[in-house]
Structure formats: C-alpha cells, structure tokens
Amino acid sequence: MKSKLHNLQSPKGMGDILPPDQLWWEKIRKEVQYAADRYHFGRIDTPLLERAEVFEKSLGEATDIVEKQMFVFKSRSGDRMVLRPEATAPIVRSYVQHGLSHLGLPLKLFYIGQMFRKEQPQAGRFRQFHQAGFEIISSDDDPIYDAQVIITIYRLLERLGVKDISLHINSIGCRICRPNYRKKLVEYYKDATAKLCKDCQRRLRENPLRLLDCKNDICQEYKSGAPIILNGVCSYCSKHLKSVLEYLEDSKVDYHLDNYLVRGLDYYNKTVFEFFTDAVNKEGNKFNFAIASGGRYDYLLEMFGARQSSGTGGAIGIERVIEVMKASGKVPSSRKKSGVFFISVGETAKKKSLSLIESLRNSGIDIVESLGKDSLAAQLRAADKEGSDYALIFGQKEVFEESIIIRDLKSGTQEVAPLKKLVNELKKRLK
Ligand SMILES: [Zn+2]
Ligand SMILES: [Zn+2]
C-alpha cells in the first residue's frame, strides 16, 4: 500500500510550482520578456524531447551530463530520445534545420523553459529545473556579442532585485591553444593522480580541463597551484578576451577574472562566465551555486554543420534566482484583487448566474464568484477572503424584478439596482 501511494508523488527532484509561488515566476517571466524586448531577442521554443545524438556529440562524451545525467529512453521505433538537459544544442539544431540564418545575422534568440538532469537533488539542484537564456548567433566571433549577452543577463538580474552580483569570467582558448594548456595541466597533476578523487583520475585521461571544476576538497587544494590557461592562450584568444572585458568596463559591468573557471561542456571556446551573488540566505550563508552562466560556442555550430557561424549565450537558473529573491525578503506585488464578488441565492438565481456574470465580464467588469457554495453566509465569507470591495447579491426576488443588490462590503450598506443599469452603477463605484 505504501509503495503505491509513493508512486503517486511527483518524480524525485521534479517539483510542482504551486499557486502561491507563481508570483515569483510571473515576475521572472515578465522581466525576461522585458529584457528580450529591450535588447531585441526573439523567442524560440524547441521540444522537451530531442534525439540523444543532439547532445552526445555536442556536449562531449566525457561530460557529466552525457555520462550520467541524461534521461534517455527508446521510442517504439527504436530512436534514443532524451529529455533536454540544456537548450543551446537544441537551438543550434533548430537554427541549422530551418536555415535560420535567412532571418539575418546576428540572430538574437531567447528561451524560457524546463530542462532535465538526473542529479542528486540538493539546494539549488533539481532534476527538473528552468532556465531563461539569451543566444546570439552571428557570422563571426566578434567579442561585442559576448559582452551583449553578459550585459543582458546582468541587467536582468539587477531588475530582478538580485543584490551584490558577482560576474566571474575567463577564456578557455580555442582548438589551437587549448591542447598546449591541456598538456601542461596533465603534467601538473601527474604526480598527484593517486590523491585525486575517482572522477578526477578519469577526467585526467578524458577531459583534464574539468579537473578545475571539481568540488572535492582535495582536488580544490591542488587546483590552487595549477597552471593558468590565460598564460598559454594564443594571441587571438587573449585579444578576444581583452575586448570583451573592455566592453564590460565601458558598460560599468564589474567582473572578476577567474583564472580557473571552466564550464562543464565541451562545446565552449574562448569566453566562459558564471554569475554569483554575495547576498546571504536567511541562515546568513552565501549561496553556494551560480545563478547564471554561459559562454561562446563556435564549435557547436560547426559540429551541426553551420557554415561561417559563431555563437555565444548564457542563461539564468530560475529556481536559483527565485531562492535568492526570496531571501531578500521582498515579495513581488500580487495582481490586484477583484472588486466585485457575485453571490447567488437559491436555484432560480443560480441558473441565471453564469450568463449574467458572462455579460458583466464582457462589459469589462472583473467578477469573482464561488457559485458552488449555496448559502449566503458561505459566499460572503469567500468574498471577504478574496478581499472584494463589493458584492452583488442575486436571489429569487431579484430574478423576478430584474434587479440585483449591490453591497458595499467595507461599509455594510447596500442598494438595489436594476440589471439594465448595473454596469454603469458598478463602473461608477469602481472608479
Ligand atoms: Zn586560441
Ligand atoms: Zn576531483
């Protein structure tokens, strides 16, 4: 019996967004749309499901997502399908599939929606989570695009009320300069191999840059002496990063050059960035997660066969940003309560209620009701709970006389109004 009830719970790490929480989500959606309008990003929606290949090659076989975090299953026709773990690869898939370069480059796109990763749920980490992201696909890798994406996200976080925003930025080079750095890194870690965590021992063979990403204490210690990629990047990559930083300075966006910042996906090159906040939660601790992140992904476009295309983008983690917003103690203002509560008493009135309410709504009057409750007292209580200023009371007598009672719920006074004049009477009061 117990296990059956358990089966009727939401899947592990996948939450419901309940009505009281929707205020925060509305605020996010509104501000994401505002940012998109302001900086001219057009919306794109891709399916929640993609073929596994879309991610396997592009994110890299030796990344956490592809290795262990994807929800993969076989369709009846034998295709391997995945619940999307991120949105950039599907967007590039769509860009190539539909030849979207015809819309003109640079193409600025934004999205908002859920992603899925099979992770151990913990603070700020869920199996279903939401991201809102901004992408710029262009014909070259002009650093101004990296800066534009970062500034868009920075301003969005500011408008969402996130305090003490801290932007970490780095360059992870290109395919010309990165192999050298990789060699140096392997060299540095070689003698310590036995002391590193199991994952890092494997990473050292498959994807050594990701050693810098490990959260294990011992691995962290070794990281502090590791060679710095910026010392080894080619002059093109270092010039590229310098330009991005200059654009940020010109736009008064503070940043912190983070020498060991790498991102967990293979498709990034040159610019990578993460946003944190130095604000604290209710227990007085700092949030131990990035609230937004992104980077340049020129090779991703290449992998999908897009010619002469470059891309850069980033996304906010919505659940994480909401957690930060909640800790700030400022609750977004709720939508205004309705002024008019409709009450019907008796069967005859109830029968006529829906059509009457519909005609009032058509006249622009916002009506709340709880017609399923029959007693006058219960409906008045509901009106009180709703915070309505006025109640309309419609009973058998009123049906017969084609009138209705308008009760002022604040003062307790009431008047009878003919139905014909009701809209005008209400509009007068609601002004
Ligand atoms: Zn380079
Ligand atoms: Zn490690």
Domain-terminating residue out of 327, 357, 387: 327
Q: What distances in angstroms separate CA 202 from CA 63, 187, 197, 207, 230, one per listed residue?
A: 11, 15, 9, 8, 24
For residue 286, tell me if it sits in a domain: yes
- Residue ranges near ligand 2 (ion) with Cβ within 5 Å: 197, 200, 214, 216, 219
Residues 293, 397 within the same domain: no
Question: Cβ distance 157 to 290 under 8 Å?
Answer: no
CA distances from residue 252 to 16, 133, 245, 248 in whole angstroms, order as listed: 38, 22, 10, 6
Domain co-membership, 322 together with 358: no
Model pTM? 0.91
Q: Do 159 and 261 belong to one domain?
A: yes
Per-residue pLDDT of the chain (431 residues; tens, 9 = 90+): 556 777 899 999 999 999 999 999 999 999 999 999 999 999 999 999 999 999 998 888 878 888 889 999 999 999 999 999 999 999 999 999 999 999 999 999 999 999 999 999 998 899 999 999 999 999 999 999 999 999 999 999 999 999 999 999 999 999 999 999 999 999 999 988 899 999 899 889 888 888 898 888 889 888 888 999 999 899 999 999 999 999 999 999 999 999 999 987 888 999 999 999 999 988 899 998 999 999 999 999 999 999 889 999 999 999 999 999 999 988 888 766 668 999 999 999 999 999 999 999 999 999 999 999 999 999 999 999 999 999 999 999 999 999 999 999 999 999 999 999 999 999 999 98
CATH code where residue 411 lies: 3.40.50.800
Q: Measure 202 CA to ligand 2 centroid, in angstroms.
A: 9
Residues 303 and 421 in one domain: no
Residue 183 lies in a domain: no
Domain count for the chain, please give it.
2
Distance in angstroms (rounded) separating the CA atoms of residues 360 and 219: 67
Same domain, 311 and 412: no
What residue spans of 69-130 are helical by DSSP H? 88-97
Pair (87, 37) in one structural domain? yes
Is residue 218 domain-resident?
no
CA angle centred on 99, ends 30 and 31, rounded to 5°:
5
Report if residue 417 sits inside a domain: yes
CA of 181, nearest ligand number: 1
Q: Which ligand is nearest to the CA of 141?
A: 1
In degrees and rounded to multiples of 5, residue 112 shows phi and psi of: -150, 130
Question: Is 199 within the bounds of a domain?
Answer: no
Same domain, 23 and 96: yes
Residue 333: inside a domain, yes or no?
no
- In terms of domains, do 168 and 42 share one? yes
Element (H, E) at 273: strand 269-277
Residue 26 sits in which domain range? 12-177+233-327
Task: Using alpha carbons, list the distances in angstroms from residue 278 to 34, 163, 272, 284.
Answer: 25, 7, 20, 11
Q: Specify whether the CB–CB gap between 387 and 409 falls below 8 A.
A: no
Q: Are residues 322 and 357 in the same domain?
A: no
What CATH code is carried by the domain that includes residue 78?
3.30.930.10
Which token pair is 392? Answer: 């309309």
Assigned token pair, 186: 């392997």
Tell me which ligand sits closest to the C-alpha of residue 216. 2
Give a yes or no: residue 65 inside a domain.
Answer: yes
